[in-house]
Structure 1
Amino acid sequence: MKASHSYTLIIGAGQGLGRSLALKFAQEGHNIALMARKTQTIENIASDVMALNQKALCIAADVTDIGSITKSIQQTQSEWGTPDAVIYNAGALQPGTVIELTPEQFESLWKVNCMGAFLVANTILPAMIARGSGSFLLTGATASIRASAKVPGFAVGKFGLRALAQSMAREYGPQGIHVAHVLLDGMIGNAAPLIQSTKQNLRHMNPNAIAAEYWKLHQQHPTTWTSELDLRTAIEHF
Protein backbone atom coordinates (compact mmCIF):
# COMPACT_ATOMS: atom_id res chain seq x y z
CA MET A 1 0.00 0.00 0.00
CA LYS A 2 1.44 3.33 -1.05
CA ALA A 3 1.96 5.88 1.70
CA SER A 4 0.43 9.34 1.36
CA HIS A 5 3.24 10.78 3.47
CA SER A 6 6.83 11.63 2.55
CA TYR A 7 9.44 9.26 3.90
CA THR A 8 13.18 8.80 3.99
CA LEU A 9 15.00 5.46 3.78
CA ILE A 10 18.27 5.42 5.74
CA ILE A 11 20.64 2.52 5.12
CA GLY A 12 23.23 2.15 7.86
CA ALA A 13 21.16 3.87 10.52
CA GLY A 14 23.54 3.64 13.45
CA GLN A 15 23.64 5.56 16.72
CA GLY A 16 25.82 8.43 15.47
CA LEU A 17 25.12 10.22 12.21
CA GLY A 18 22.35 7.76 11.31
CA ARG A 19 20.36 8.76 14.37
CA SER A 20 20.85 12.48 13.69
CA LEU A 21 19.72 12.01 10.09
CA ALA A 22 16.61 10.14 11.18
CA LEU A 23 15.65 12.78 13.72
CA LYS A 24 16.32 15.73 11.40
CA PHE A 25 14.23 14.35 8.55
CA ALA A 26 11.50 13.36 11.03
CA GLN A 27 11.50 16.88 12.47
CA GLU A 28 10.95 18.15 8.93
CA GLY A 29 7.88 15.95 8.52
CA HIS A 30 9.18 12.69 7.05
CA ASN A 31 8.38 9.21 8.19
CA ILE A 32 11.60 7.22 8.56
CA ALA A 33 12.51 3.72 7.37
CA LEU A 34 15.63 2.52 9.18
CA MET A 35 17.76 -0.26 7.71
CA ALA A 36 20.53 -2.04 9.61
CA ARG A 37 21.99 -5.51 9.86
CA LYS A 38 20.15 -6.05 13.17
CA THR A 39 16.94 -4.24 14.05
CA GLN A 40 17.77 -4.33 17.77
CA THR A 41 20.43 -1.68 17.15
CA ILE A 42 17.94 0.82 15.71
CA GLU A 43 14.80 0.29 17.78
CA ASN A 44 15.65 3.20 20.08
CA ILE A 45 16.04 5.48 17.04
CA ALA A 46 12.60 4.39 15.85
CA SER A 47 11.19 5.27 19.27
CA ASP A 48 12.74 8.74 19.06
CA VAL A 49 11.24 9.22 15.60
CA MET A 50 7.79 8.22 16.84
CA ALA A 51 8.17 10.64 19.74
CA LEU A 52 8.25 13.33 17.05
CA ASN A 53 4.84 12.10 15.83
CA GLN A 54 6.28 10.44 12.74
CA LYS A 55 6.10 6.79 11.74
CA ALA A 56 9.15 4.53 11.79
CA LEU A 57 10.02 1.17 10.26
CA CYS A 58 12.92 -1.01 11.39
CA ILE A 59 14.18 -3.33 8.67
CA ALA A 60 16.97 -5.90 8.89
CA ALA A 61 19.21 -6.06 5.82
CA ASP A 62 22.72 -7.06 4.83
CA VAL A 63 23.93 -4.39 2.39
CA THR A 64 26.38 -6.83 0.81
CA ASP A 65 23.67 -9.35 -0.13
CA ILE A 66 21.47 -8.54 -3.15
CA GLY A 67 18.78 -10.96 -1.97
CA SER A 68 18.62 -9.33 1.45
CA ILE A 69 18.56 -5.80 0.00
CA THR A 70 15.87 -6.66 -2.56
CA LYS A 71 13.65 -8.30 0.04
CA SER A 72 14.06 -5.45 2.52
CA ILE A 73 13.36 -2.69 -0.01
CA GLN A 74 10.36 -4.57 -1.36
CA GLN A 75 9.08 -4.84 2.21
CA THR A 76 9.50 -1.10 2.68
CA GLN A 77 7.81 -0.27 -0.61
CA SER A 78 4.87 -2.55 0.15
CA GLU A 79 4.33 -0.62 3.37
CA TRP A 80 5.06 2.94 2.29
CA GLY A 81 5.66 3.10 -1.46
CA THR A 82 8.67 4.82 -3.00
CA PRO A 83 10.89 6.92 -0.72
CA ASP A 84 11.33 10.64 -1.26
CA ALA A 85 14.91 10.45 -0.02
CA VAL A 86 17.41 7.59 0.22
CA ILE A 87 20.53 7.99 2.35
CA TYR A 88 23.32 5.43 2.05
CA ASN A 89 25.17 5.81 5.34
CA ALA A 90 26.63 2.31 5.71
CA GLY A 91 30.36 2.06 6.23
CA ALA A 92 33.07 -0.21 7.57
CA LEU A 93 36.64 0.54 8.64
CA GLN A 94 39.31 -2.03 9.42
CA PRO A 95 42.90 -0.78 9.60
CA GLY A 96 45.57 -2.89 7.99
CA THR A 97 48.16 -2.65 5.26
CA VAL A 98 47.91 -4.43 1.92
CA ILE A 99 50.09 -7.16 3.42
CA GLU A 100 48.17 -7.40 6.70
CA LEU A 101 44.62 -7.51 5.33
CA THR A 102 43.33 -10.82 4.02
CA PRO A 103 41.60 -10.89 0.62
CA GLU A 104 38.36 -11.69 2.43
CA GLN A 105 38.70 -8.64 4.69
CA PHE A 106 39.51 -6.37 1.75
CA GLU A 107 36.51 -7.65 -0.20
CA SER A 108 34.22 -7.21 2.80
CA LEU A 109 35.30 -3.57 3.22
CA TRP A 110 34.67 -2.86 -0.47
CA LYS A 111 31.26 -4.51 -0.32
CA VAL A 112 30.01 -2.45 2.63
CA ASN A 113 31.52 0.86 1.56
CA CYS A 114 30.73 0.68 -2.15
CA MET A 115 28.90 -2.32 -3.54
CA GLY A 116 26.08 -2.00 -1.03
CA ALA A 117 25.24 1.44 -2.41
CA PHE A 118 25.12 -0.03 -5.91
CA LEU A 119 22.77 -2.79 -4.76
CA VAL A 120 20.45 -0.29 -3.07
CA ALA A 121 20.45 1.99 -6.12
CA ASN A 122 19.94 -0.92 -8.49
CA THR A 123 16.87 -1.97 -6.52
CA ILE A 124 15.21 1.36 -5.64
CA LEU A 125 16.06 3.72 -8.51
CA PRO A 126 13.60 2.32 -11.08
CA ALA A 127 10.64 3.32 -8.89
CA MET A 128 12.14 6.74 -8.15
CA ILE A 129 12.78 7.35 -11.85
CA ALA A 130 9.24 6.27 -12.72
CA ARG A 131 7.95 8.89 -10.28
CA GLY A 132 10.45 11.45 -11.60
CA SER A 133 11.70 12.82 -8.29
CA GLY A 134 13.71 12.03 -5.18
CA SER A 135 17.09 12.44 -3.52
CA PHE A 136 19.80 9.80 -3.25
CA LEU A 137 22.50 10.94 -0.81
CA LEU A 138 25.70 9.01 -0.10
CA THR A 139 28.02 9.43 2.89
CA GLY A 140 31.69 9.70 1.96
CA ALA A 141 34.85 10.42 3.93
CA THR A 142 38.28 11.98 3.66
CA ALA A 143 39.33 8.63 2.20
CA SER A 144 37.01 9.29 -0.75
CA ILE A 145 39.68 11.57 -2.23
CA ARG A 146 42.84 10.88 -0.23
CA ALA A 147 43.98 7.42 0.78
CA SER A 148 45.98 7.30 3.99
CA ALA A 149 48.43 4.59 4.92
CA LYS A 150 47.06 1.46 6.57
CA VAL A 151 43.45 1.87 5.36
CA PRO A 152 43.55 0.62 1.74
CA GLY A 153 40.34 -1.39 2.05
CA PHE A 154 38.38 1.56 3.41
CA ALA A 155 39.85 3.98 0.86
CA VAL A 156 39.15 1.77 -2.14
CA GLY A 157 35.53 1.42 -1.02
CA LYS A 158 35.10 5.15 -0.47
CA PHE A 159 36.83 6.06 -3.75
CA GLY A 160 34.42 3.70 -5.48
CA LEU A 161 31.42 5.16 -3.68
CA ARG A 162 32.34 8.64 -4.90
CA ALA A 163 32.72 7.38 -8.47
CA LEU A 164 29.34 5.67 -8.23
CA ALA A 165 27.74 8.91 -7.02
CA GLN A 166 29.30 10.91 -9.86
CA SER A 167 28.08 8.47 -12.48
CA MET A 168 24.58 8.30 -10.97
CA ALA A 169 24.32 12.09 -10.76
CA ARG A 170 25.10 12.45 -14.45
CA GLU A 171 22.85 9.59 -15.47
CA TYR A 172 19.78 10.22 -13.35
CA GLY A 173 19.82 13.95 -12.64
CA PRO A 174 18.05 14.67 -15.96
CA GLN A 175 15.40 12.16 -14.88
CA GLY A 176 14.63 14.07 -11.69
CA ILE A 177 16.84 12.24 -9.20
CA HIS A 178 19.15 14.43 -7.11
CA VAL A 179 22.27 12.37 -6.38
CA ALA A 180 24.83 13.93 -4.04
CA HIS A 181 28.00 12.64 -2.40
CA VAL A 182 28.72 14.14 1.03
CA LEU A 183 32.41 14.10 1.90
CA LEU A 184 32.87 14.19 5.67
CA ASP A 185 36.42 15.43 6.18
CA GLY A 186 36.94 14.78 9.87
CA MET A 187 35.90 12.78 12.90
CA ILE A 188 32.27 12.81 13.98
CA GLY A 189 31.65 13.66 17.62
CA ASN A 190 28.62 13.63 19.90
CA ALA A 191 25.23 15.02 18.92
CA ALA A 192 25.47 18.10 21.12
CA PRO A 193 22.97 20.97 20.80
CA LEU A 194 23.88 23.38 18.02
CA ILE A 195 24.98 26.25 20.21
CA GLN A 196 27.66 28.86 19.56
CA SER A 197 30.87 26.94 18.99
CA THR A 198 34.14 27.24 20.88
CA LYS A 199 37.49 25.90 19.73
CA GLN A 200 37.04 22.97 22.13
CA ASN A 201 33.90 21.67 20.44
CA LEU A 202 35.30 22.35 16.95
CA ARG A 203 37.58 19.33 17.29
CA HIS A 204 34.87 17.03 15.97
CA MET A 205 31.99 17.35 13.52
CA ASN A 206 28.56 17.59 15.12
CA PRO A 207 26.26 14.93 13.60
CA ASN A 208 23.23 17.17 14.12
CA ALA A 209 24.91 19.87 12.04
CA ILE A 210 25.81 17.32 9.38
CA ALA A 211 22.21 16.08 9.25
CA ALA A 212 21.00 19.65 8.72
CA GLU A 213 23.19 19.86 5.61
CA TYR A 214 21.72 16.61 4.24
CA TRP A 215 18.26 18.12 4.64
CA LYS A 216 19.36 21.23 2.74
CA LEU A 217 20.55 19.00 -0.10
CA HIS A 218 17.19 17.26 -0.22
CA GLN A 219 15.44 20.63 -0.36
CA GLN A 220 17.55 22.14 -3.15
CA HIS A 221 15.80 23.51 -6.22
CA PRO A 222 16.66 21.52 -9.38
CA THR A 223 18.17 24.63 -10.98
CA THR A 224 20.88 24.64 -8.28
CA TRP A 225 21.62 21.04 -7.32
CA THR A 226 24.84 20.20 -5.48
CA SER A 227 26.42 16.95 -6.66
CA GLU A 228 29.20 16.89 -4.05
CA LEU A 229 29.40 18.62 -0.69
CA ASP A 230 32.52 18.52 1.47
CA LEU A 231 32.09 19.27 5.16
CA ARG A 232 34.71 19.83 7.86
CA THR A 233 35.16 21.80 11.07
CA ALA A 234 36.51 25.35 10.94
CA ILE A 235 39.86 24.21 12.33
CA GLU A 236 40.35 21.09 10.20
CA HIS A 237 43.49 21.19 8.01
CA PHE A 238 42.84 20.53 4.34
Structure 2
Amino acid sequence: MSKTVIIAGTGPLLGEAIAREFASHGCSLGLFARSTEYINDLAADLRGEEIDAVAVPTDVTDADEVAAGFETVREKLGPVDVLIHNTAVRGGGPITHCDPEQFENVWRSRAYAGFLCAKEAVADMQGGGGTILFTGTSFALDGAAQMVAWGSAGFATRGLARSLADDLSDDGIQVTYAAIRAQIATEDDELGATAVRANDVASTFWNLADNDTAITTELDIRPRDSG
Protein backbone atom coordinates (compact mmCIF):
# COMPACT_ATOMS: atom_id res chain seq x y z
CA MET A 1 0.00 0.00 0.00
CA SER A 2 1.28 3.46 -0.88
CA LYS A 3 2.52 5.55 2.04
CA THR A 4 2.93 9.28 2.49
CA VAL A 5 6.50 9.89 3.62
CA ILE A 6 8.21 13.01 4.89
CA ILE A 7 12.00 13.10 4.75
CA ALA A 8 13.16 15.89 7.04
CA GLY A 9 16.64 16.65 5.80
CA THR A 10 16.68 15.62 2.14
CA GLY A 11 20.25 15.94 0.98
CA PRO A 12 22.10 14.64 -2.09
CA LEU A 13 23.44 11.46 -0.49
CA LEU A 14 21.44 9.45 2.03
CA GLY A 15 18.35 11.68 1.87
CA GLU A 16 18.05 11.25 -1.89
CA ALA A 17 18.72 7.51 -1.65
CA ILE A 18 15.88 7.21 0.88
CA ALA A 19 13.58 9.25 -1.35
CA ARG A 20 14.29 7.10 -4.38
CA GLU A 21 13.94 3.84 -2.45
CA PHE A 22 10.54 4.75 -1.04
CA ALA A 23 9.49 6.17 -4.41
CA SER A 24 10.33 2.82 -6.03
CA HIS A 25 7.63 1.28 -3.82
CA GLY A 26 5.01 3.80 -4.90
CA CYS A 27 5.21 6.13 -1.91
CA SER A 28 4.31 9.81 -2.05
CA LEU A 29 7.08 12.07 -0.79
CA GLY A 30 7.34 15.35 1.09
CA LEU A 31 10.92 16.60 0.84
CA PHE A 32 12.01 18.98 3.61
CA ALA A 33 15.27 20.92 3.47
CA ARG A 34 16.62 24.45 3.50
CA SER A 35 18.25 23.86 0.08
CA THR A 36 15.30 25.03 -2.01
CA GLU A 37 16.86 24.54 -5.45
CA TYR A 38 18.03 21.01 -4.69
CA ILE A 39 14.74 19.65 -3.37
CA ASN A 40 12.81 21.40 -6.16
CA ASP A 41 15.01 19.65 -8.73
CA LEU A 42 14.69 16.28 -6.98
CA ALA A 43 10.91 16.58 -6.65
CA ALA A 44 10.62 17.49 -10.34
CA ASP A 45 12.79 14.52 -11.28
CA LEU A 46 10.62 12.16 -9.23
CA ARG A 47 7.42 13.60 -10.68
CA GLY A 48 8.90 12.85 -14.12
CA GLU A 49 8.89 9.22 -12.99
CA GLU A 50 5.19 9.54 -12.05
CA ILE A 51 5.90 9.79 -8.32
CA ASP A 52 3.92 12.24 -6.21
CA ALA A 53 6.64 14.40 -4.70
CA VAL A 54 6.44 17.84 -3.08
CA ALA A 55 9.41 20.04 -2.27
CA VAL A 56 8.81 21.91 0.98
CA PRO A 57 11.59 24.40 1.84
CA THR A 58 11.66 24.19 5.63
CA ASP A 59 13.88 25.11 8.54
CA VAL A 60 13.10 22.11 10.73
CA THR A 61 14.34 23.94 13.83
CA ASP A 62 11.46 26.44 13.48
CA ALA A 63 8.17 25.21 14.96
CA ASP A 64 6.00 27.38 12.72
CA GLU A 65 7.80 26.28 9.55
CA VAL A 66 7.55 22.62 10.53
CA ALA A 67 3.81 22.93 11.20
CA ALA A 68 3.31 24.72 7.88
CA GLY A 69 5.40 22.12 6.05
CA PHE A 70 3.37 19.22 7.40
CA GLU A 71 0.16 21.01 6.50
CA THR A 72 1.41 21.45 2.93
CA VAL A 73 2.10 17.73 2.68
CA ARG A 74 -1.29 16.85 4.15
CA GLU A 75 -3.07 19.10 1.66
CA LYS A 76 -1.20 17.76 -1.36
CA LEU A 77 -0.52 14.12 -0.43
CA GLY A 78 -2.65 13.21 2.59
CA PRO A 79 -1.88 12.25 6.20
CA VAL A 80 1.70 11.29 6.98
CA ASP A 81 2.46 7.57 7.44
CA VAL A 82 6.25 7.70 7.72
CA LEU A 83 8.62 10.36 9.06
CA ILE A 84 12.35 10.01 8.51
CA HIS A 85 14.39 12.53 10.45
CA ASN A 86 17.67 12.80 8.56
CA THR A 87 19.07 16.23 9.39
CA ALA A 88 22.76 17.01 9.71
CA VAL A 89 24.86 20.10 10.38
CA ARG A 90 28.54 20.73 10.87
CA GLY A 91 29.73 20.43 14.44
CA GLY A 92 33.01 18.57 14.78
CA GLY A 93 35.80 19.08 17.24
CA PRO A 94 36.56 18.71 20.96
CA ILE A 95 35.18 21.08 23.57
CA THR A 96 38.14 23.45 23.17
CA HIS A 97 37.11 24.01 19.53
CA CYS A 98 33.33 23.96 19.91
CA ASP A 99 31.69 27.30 20.63
CA PRO A 100 28.25 27.57 22.28
CA GLU A 101 26.49 28.51 19.05
CA GLN A 102 27.88 25.48 17.24
CA PHE A 103 26.91 23.20 20.13
CA GLU A 104 23.36 24.55 20.16
CA ASN A 105 23.01 24.32 16.37
CA VAL A 106 23.77 20.60 16.37
CA TRP A 107 21.34 19.96 19.23
CA ARG A 108 18.61 22.01 17.53
CA SER A 109 19.11 20.21 14.22
CA ARG A 110 19.02 16.75 15.79
CA ALA A 111 17.03 16.60 19.05
CA TYR A 112 14.87 19.71 18.91
CA ALA A 113 13.99 19.40 15.23
CA GLY A 114 13.29 15.71 15.79
CA PHE A 115 10.83 16.63 18.52
CA LEU A 116 9.08 19.21 16.34
CA CYS A 117 8.72 16.86 13.38
CA ALA A 118 7.67 13.88 15.49
CA LYS A 119 5.01 15.96 17.24
CA GLU A 120 3.43 16.82 13.89
CA ALA A 121 3.73 13.27 12.56
CA VAL A 122 2.10 11.73 15.64
CA ALA A 123 -0.99 13.87 15.06
CA ASP A 124 -1.52 11.94 11.80
CA MET A 125 -0.46 8.51 13.05
CA GLN A 126 -2.45 8.09 16.27
CA GLY A 127 -5.21 5.59 15.69
CA GLY A 128 -3.73 4.31 12.45
CA GLY A 129 -0.10 3.52 13.19
CA GLY A 130 3.00 4.61 11.33
CA THR A 131 6.78 4.81 11.52
CA ILE A 132 9.10 7.53 12.83
CA LEU A 133 12.73 6.83 12.04
CA PHE A 134 15.69 8.83 13.30
CA THR A 135 18.83 8.55 11.19
CA GLY A 136 21.59 8.65 13.80
CA THR A 137 25.15 7.73 14.59
CA SER A 138 26.99 5.43 16.95
CA PHE A 139 27.98 8.55 18.91
CA ALA A 140 24.64 8.04 20.64
CA LEU A 141 25.89 4.68 21.92
CA ASP A 142 29.56 5.24 22.64
CA GLY A 143 30.09 8.99 22.93
CA ALA A 144 32.50 10.95 20.77
CA ALA A 145 35.69 12.29 22.33
CA GLN A 146 36.48 14.64 19.45
CA MET A 147 32.86 15.45 18.51
CA VAL A 148 31.38 16.89 21.68
CA ALA A 149 28.39 18.56 19.99
CA TRP A 150 27.42 15.51 17.97
CA GLY A 151 28.04 13.17 20.89
CA SER A 152 25.75 15.16 23.15
CA ALA A 153 23.07 15.62 20.49
CA GLY A 154 23.30 11.94 19.60
CA PHE A 155 22.44 10.84 23.13
CA ALA A 156 19.64 13.43 23.29
CA THR A 157 18.12 12.27 20.00
CA ARG A 158 18.39 8.61 20.91
CA GLY A 159 16.75 9.37 24.25
CA LEU A 160 13.94 11.18 22.45
CA ALA A 161 13.44 8.24 20.10
CA ARG A 162 13.42 5.69 22.91
CA SER A 163 10.98 7.74 24.98
CA LEU A 164 8.65 8.12 22.00
CA ALA A 165 8.91 4.40 21.27
CA ASP A 166 7.80 3.53 24.80
CA ASP A 167 5.05 6.14 24.73
CA LEU A 168 3.58 5.39 21.30
CA SER A 169 3.84 1.63 20.85
CA ASP A 170 0.30 1.08 22.13
CA ASP A 171 -0.90 3.26 19.24
CA GLY A 172 0.89 0.98 16.77
CA ILE A 173 3.48 3.67 16.04
CA GLN A 174 6.99 2.39 15.50
CA VAL A 175 9.79 4.75 16.56
CA THR A 176 13.32 3.68 15.65
CA TYR A 177 16.78 5.11 16.21
CA ALA A 178 19.20 3.90 13.53
CA ALA A 179 22.81 4.17 14.66
CA ILE A 180 25.00 4.16 11.55
CA ARG A 181 28.58 3.15 12.34
CA ALA A 182 29.97 4.00 8.93
CA GLN A 183 30.59 6.58 6.28
CA ILE A 184 27.87 6.77 3.63
CA ALA A 185 29.01 6.01 0.09
CA THR A 186 27.33 6.32 -3.31
CA GLU A 187 27.06 3.48 -5.81
CA ASP A 188 30.05 4.95 -7.69
CA ASP A 189 32.36 5.30 -4.68
CA GLU A 190 35.01 2.72 -3.94
CA LEU A 191 33.67 0.93 -0.88
CA GLY A 192 36.24 0.76 1.93
CA ALA A 193 36.04 -1.17 5.16
CA THR A 194 34.45 1.77 6.99
CA ALA A 195 31.65 2.60 4.54
CA VAL A 196 28.19 1.42 3.58
CA ARG A 197 26.19 2.18 0.45
CA ALA A 198 23.49 4.83 0.79
CA ASN A 199 21.15 2.61 -1.22
CA ASP A 200 21.66 -0.28 1.19
CA VAL A 201 20.79 1.90 4.17
CA ALA A 202 17.74 3.20 2.33
CA SER A 203 16.50 -0.32 1.56
CA THR A 204 16.94 -1.22 5.23
CA PHE A 205 14.76 1.74 6.14
CA TRP A 206 12.09 0.66 3.66
CA ASN A 207 11.99 -2.87 5.07
CA LEU A 208 11.54 -1.37 8.51
CA ALA A 209 8.68 0.91 7.47
CA ASP A 210 6.98 -1.83 5.45
CA ASN A 211 6.80 -4.27 8.40
CA ASP A 212 3.28 -4.37 9.79
CA THR A 213 3.74 -7.04 12.48
CA ALA A 214 6.89 -6.11 14.41
CA ILE A 215 8.30 -2.96 16.02
CA THR A 216 12.02 -2.19 16.02
CA THR A 217 13.22 0.43 18.50
CA GLU A 218 16.91 0.51 17.55
CA LEU A 219 19.07 -0.47 14.60
CA ASP A 220 22.87 -0.79 14.55
CA ILE A 221 24.05 -0.42 10.95
CA ARG A 222 27.69 -1.11 10.19
CA PRO A 223 29.88 -2.32 7.30
CA ARG A 224 29.55 -6.04 6.66
CA ASP A 225 33.32 -6.60 7.12
CA SER A 226 33.69 -4.42 10.23
CA GLY A 227 33.73 -7.38 12.62
Shorter-chain TM range is: over 0.9
Q: Is the 8 A contact 1:23 1:48 kept in 2?
A: no
Tell whether 2:221 aligns with 1:231: yes
Q: Distance in 2 between matches of 1:161 and 1:203?
A: 23
Task: Say how many residue pairs are matched.
Answer: 227
Q: Distance in 1 between matches of 2:60 and 2:77?
A: 20
Percent identity, aligned pairs only, is: 27
1:150–1:52 CA distance, 2 compared to 1 (3 A): same
SS of the residue aligned with 1:145? helix
> Deviations 1:40-99 (Å, cap 9, x if unpaired)?
122232233224321110001111111111111112112222112110011223212223
Aligned-pair CA distance for 1:30: 0.4
The corresponding residue for 1:135 is 131
Taking only aligned residues, the RMSD between alpha carbons, in angstroms, comes to 1.9
Segments of 5+ residues of structure 1 without an aligned counterpart are: 194-198
Segments of 5+ residues of structure 2 without an aligned counterpart are: none
Q: Is the 8 A contact 2:135 2:177 kept in 1?
A: yes
SS of the residue aligned with 2:84? strand
Q: Is the 8 A contact 1:27 1:52 kept in 2?
A: no
Q: Is the 8 A contact 2:59 2:66 kept in 1?
A: yes
Q: Distance in 2 between matches of 1:52 and 1:173?
A: 35
Aligned-pair CA distance for 1:39: 1.7
Tell whether 2:177 aligns with 1:181: yes
1:153–1:26 CA distance, 2 compared to 1 (3 A): same
SS of the residue aligned with 1:188? strand
Tell whether 2:46 aligns with 1:46: no
1:173–1:192 CA distance, 2 compared to 1 (3 A): farther
Q: Is the 8 A contact 1:11 1:35 kept in 2?
A: yes
The corresponding residue for 2:17 is 20
SS of the residue aligned with 1:179? strand
Q: Distance in 2 between matches of 1:33 and 1:16?
A: 17
Q: Is the 8 A contact 1:61 1:69 kept in 2?
A: yes
Tell whether 2:183 aligns with 1:166: no
The corresponding residue for 2:205 is 214
TM-score, normalised via structure 1 length:
0.89
Aligned-pair CA distance for 1:213: 0.3
For residue 74 of structure 1, the aligned residue among 66, 71, 74 is: 71
